[in-house]
A and B are shown apart, each in its own frame.
Chain A
Amino acid sequence: MSQLAPSVEITSTSTIKPLVTDEGEYAAIVELEGTGRTGGHSLRYVIAFVFGEDFYDRIDGYFTASKAAEYEALMHAYIRAYRLSLGELRARRFYYEPPGGWQGRARNLLAQWFTFDYPKRPSQIIVSAAFPSTKIEASVTARALIQRRLVGFKQERETGESLPAENGLGMALHHVVGQFASDPSITDLCTIVATDQRYVYVARLETSTAWFEQDRATLVELARSIRSLPRPKTDEKYALSWMAE
Chain B
Amino acid sequence: MRLVLEQQTWHELDPEAAVAAELPHIVLVPVAPWGEDLAARRQQVLNWNLPPGATTKVVYEQLVKSSVEWPMRLIEQHVMRGQEVVEVRLCAFYVLLEYWAGVIWRGPLSTFTPERDAIVAAVSGGRPDWRRREIIALYQLYESP
Chain A residues near B (Cβ < 8 Å) = 15-16, 18, 26, 28, 49, 51, 93-98, 103-106, 111, 113-114, 116-120, 127
Q: A105-B130, A118-B68, A119-B70 are in contact. Are A98 and B136 (CB under 8 A)?
A: yes
Contact A16 B143 (CB under 8 A): yes
Contact B141 A96 (CB under 8 A): no
Q: Given A97, A106, A118, which contacts B136 in the complex, CB threshold below 8 Å?
A: A106
Q: Which residues of A have CB within 8 Å of B1?
A: 105
Contact A117 B68 (CB under 8 A): yes
Chain B residues near A (Cβ < 8 Å) = 1, 67-70, 127, 129-131, 134-144
Can you offer 29 A-B residue contacts whose CB atoms are under 8 A? A15-B144, A16-B141, A18-B142, A26-B138, A26-B141, A28-B142, A49-B141, A51-B138, A51-B141, A93-B138, A95-B137, A96-B137, A96-B138, A98-B137, A98-B140, A104-B130, A104-B137, A105-B1, A105-B134, A106-B134, A111-B136, A111-B137, A113-B136, A114-B130, A116-B127, A119-B68, A120-B67, A120-B69, A127-B137
Q: A119-B69, A119-B70 are in contact. Are A97 and B127 (CB under 8 A)?
A: no
Contact A103 B130 (CB under 8 A): yes
Q: Which residues of A have CB within 8 Å of B142?
A: 16, 18, 28
Q: Which residues of B have CB within 8 Å of A95?
A: 137-139
CA distance A106 to B97 in the complex (A): 13
Contact B144 A103 (CB under 8 A): no
CB-nearest residue of chain B to A17: B142
Q: Which residues of B have CB within 8 Å of A116?
A: 127
Contact A28 B139 (CB under 8 A): no
CA distance A49 to B135 in the complex (A): 14
CA distance A97 to B127 in the complex (A): 24
CA distance A51 to B135 in the complex (A): 11
> From residue A55, how far is it (CB to closest CB) to chain B in Å?
11
> From residue B21, how far is it (CB to closest CB) to chain A in Å?
29
Q: Which residues of B have CB within 8 Å of A15?
A: 144
> From residue A194, how far is it (CB to closest CB) to chain B in Å?
15
CB-nearest residue of chain B to A127: B137
Q: Which residues of A have CB within 8 Å of B135?
A: 106
